[in-house]
Amino acid sequence: MDVLAVKEDSVFHQAEMSILRQNLLKIIREHLTDREQKIILMRYGLEENSTPMTQLQTAKKLGISRSYISRIETHALSKIKQYL
């Protein structure tokens, strides 16, 4: 019985996380600029089969400075918080 309860909890948790992820992606796509979207998706690994990247890795990939990544990320996160 305990094993079954753990499996059910895991399934419900996965389903809940999937729904939350989809809602977050909808907010990102509807309310952020293309550059903000790229940075948030890369930084937090929100796309399928992607891993989170550091600000430095993101900056190198996009050809801009790490401090600029930080500023864009901070602004994008504040926009996301408005819609959550």
| Rounded CA separation 33/50 (Å) | 20
Q: Where would I find the H helices in the chain?
A: 2-31, 34-44, 55-62, 66-83
- pTM of the entire predicted model: 0.81
Which residues fall within 8 angstroms of residue 15, CB to CB, at 6 or more apart?
A: none
Give the pLDDT of residue 80: 95
At residue 81, does pLDDT exceed 50?
yes
pLDDT digits (tens, 9 = 90+) for 35-80: 999 999 999 998 888 899 999 999 999 999 999 999 999 999 999 9
At residue 32, does pLDDT exceed 80?
yes
| Rounded CA separation 80/32 (Å) | 8
| Rounded CA separation 17/78 (Å) | 21
Give the pLDDT of residue 42: 96
Give the pLDDT of residue 5: 52
